[in-house]
Structure 1
Amino acid sequence: MQVGDTVYISGQLAHDAEGNFVGEGDFDAQVRATLENLDKVLAHFGASRRQVVETSVLVVGLREHFDAAAAAHARYFGDHRPTSTISGVVELALPAQLVEIGAVVRLDIAS
C-alpha cells in the first residue's frame, strides 16, 4: 500500500510465481525466497533496497534461526541498515512457514 512517498509492504513469505509454498523445512531456502519476493514488490514500486527504512521479521523457532536470519538480513541489505525488529512466534499462516518479512519503504530517498 502506498501513501504519498511511503510504501507499506505486508509480510512476504516463501512462494514461487505460481503461488506454491517453497522451502518446507529449510529456513535458509525460505528466507531466500521471501527476500526474492520482497525484491519483486520493491521493483513494482520502482524502489530499491536502499529505500527500505524498516523491516519486521517474524520467525518460528527464533533461538534456532536467529543467526541465519540476521546473516541473511545483513547480506540482503549490504552496508544499508534499515531499522529492524525480529520477533519469535509460535506459528505463522502456513503450517510449514518459518519466516515472514514486512517492510516500510520511502520513495523520496535517493536509491
Structure 2
Amino acid sequence: MKIERFRKFKTKNFYPTELGKPEHHIDNELSMAVRAGNRIFLRGQTGFDLEGNFHGEGDAAKQADNACRCVKQLIEEAGGTVNDICKMTVYLLNREDRSKVYPVIAEHFKDVYPCSTGLIVSGLAMPEMLMEIDVEAVISDSAND
C-alpha cells in the first residue's frame, strides 16, 4: 500500500513563539494529511490555518469555520472530496459552544452524513484553541459507487 504525506512540517517552526521563549519547546516532524491507499487521515484542525496563522481568538464558531475550510483543502490535496469523509470527531472546551460550532460544521459538510462523535475536553494543545476537528476519509472506489 502506498503511503503519501502532505504538508510536512516541524512543530518548532509552525507554532507561534511562546511568551518569553525563543522557540516552541516541542520539536516533532508531522504531516497535515496522510493518505494510505484510499484512506485519508487528517491532523486535527483548529483555528490555525495551513500556514500557522490563528483565526478566531475567543470565537469558537470562527475557529470551526477555519477548521472546516482546512479539512476541505487537505482532503482535496490528498485526492479526495468532502464526500469521502467517513468519521469526524469534534473536541470542544465548553459545552455551550456546541450551539455555535455544530451549525458551522453542518454548513460546510451538508449532504455528507459522516459518523460523528462530540467530546467536551479539559484542554487542547494551545490555550487559544476552543475546538478541534479530527477527520478520517476513505476515497470511494468508482467501480463500487
TM-score above 0.5: yes
Matched, 1:21 2:21: no
Aligned ranges for residues 25-64 of structure 1 at < 5 Å? 25-61=58-94, 63-64=95-96
For the Cα contact (< 8 Å) 2:39–2:137, is it kept in 1? yes
Q: C-alpha separation between the residues in 2 aligned to 1:66 and 1:107?
A: 29
How big is the alpha-carbon RMSD for the aligned residues of Structure 1 and Structure 2? 1.7
TM-score normalised by the chain length of structure 1: 0.89
Runs of 4 or more consecutive aligned structure 1 residues displaced over 6 Å after TM superposition:
none
Q: In the alignment, is the contact (CA less than 8 A) between 1:14 and 1:37 conserved in 2?
A: no
Q: Cα deviations across residues 55-103 of structure 1 (Å, max 9, x unaligned)?
A: 0111110x21112222122111112210001100111001110011111
The answer as to whether partners of 2:87 and 2:137 remain within 8 angstroms in 1 is: yes
Structure with greater helix share of residues: 1
1:72 aligned to which of 97, 101, 104: 104
Indicate yes or no: 2:134 matched with 1:102.
Answer: yes
Identity of matched residues, % = 27
Unaligned runs of 5+ in 2: 1-33
Q: Count residues in correspondence.
A: 110
